[in-house]
Chains A and B, each alone.
Chain A
Amino acid sequence: NAGVTQTPKFQVLKTGQSMTLQCAQDMNHEYMSWYRQDPGMGLRLIHYSVGAGITDQGEVPNGYNVSRSTTEDFPLRLLSAAPSQTSVYFCASSYSNRAGMNIQYFGAGTRLSVL
């Protein structure tokens, strides 16, 4: 009953370091997304994928890379961490049912601090 699993739960980086946030889902969902949540704001879309091998940019993609080599995994890479990337990161997966309803299921989040 895993759903969407994000690792790590917490991470502290120094400016300029790189790292990968992991996201895996076991529901065979076609859509996966990465969001960031900053204080006083809702979630903002970073990158998304509509299927294995297909990715695209969201609202705030700068400084992040993604890839989707399998249906299950959708890692988010920070290329050179900056303090502005201090945030809580959520991964989500979803599918569209016949009614066009697309409910996104979220992971527990990764709290990232960049010093």
Chain B
Amino acid sequence: AQKITQTQPGMFVQEKEAVTLDCTYDTSDPSYGLFWYKQPSSGEMIFLIYQGSYDQQNATEGRYSLNFQKARKSANLVISASQLGDSAMYFCAMRELDSGSARQLTFGSGTQLTVLP
């Protein structure tokens, strides 16, 4: 079964508007971390934001925020005031802290975001 599911292969948003990229996850570990990475067309992977399973508040980093709904096992990325430079592939990833996976990341298949001028 997929551990990380990103159901939106592609998304479009108008410049200066907000956009939500969906991510659902599956784990039986009580301790885990959720990550979002950005991959622009140049190819590098850029860390954006982190949410721990025990964090009481939703994570925020500048224009990025994470809408964490633990009971629904979702960790959606919200980008406010979209900019043209936000056009990129976005990956959701999870690290299970208590499992035998030695705490490596499992990635979703990604969402290609295009910001329109």
A-side residues, CB < 8 A to B, are 31, 33, 35, 40-45, 48, 50, 56, 58, 88, 90, 92, 96, 99-109, 111
Contact = CB atoms under 8 A, between A and B. Distances in A.
B109 interface: yes
Interface stretch (B14-22, B70-78, B80-88, B97-105): B97-105
Contacts of B11: none
Contacts of B43: 88, 108-109, 111
Given A101-B33, A103-B35, A109-B43, A41 B103 contact: no
A99 to B, nearest CB: 7
Given A42-B107, A56-B102, A58-B104, A101 B50 contact: yes
- Size bin of chain B's contact surface: 20 to 34
Interface of B: 4, 31, 33, 35, 37, 43-45, 47, 50, 52, 91, 93, 95, 97, 102-110
Nearest to A110: B43
Nearest to A100: B97
A103 B45 contact: no
Contacts of B108: 42
Contacts of B95: 102
Contact of B44 (A31, A35, A56, A109): A109
Interface class of chain A by DSSP: strand
Nearest to B39: A37
A103 B91 CA distance: 14
B47 A103 contact: yes
Contact of A105 (B47, B97, B102, B107): B47
B51 to A, nearest CB: 10
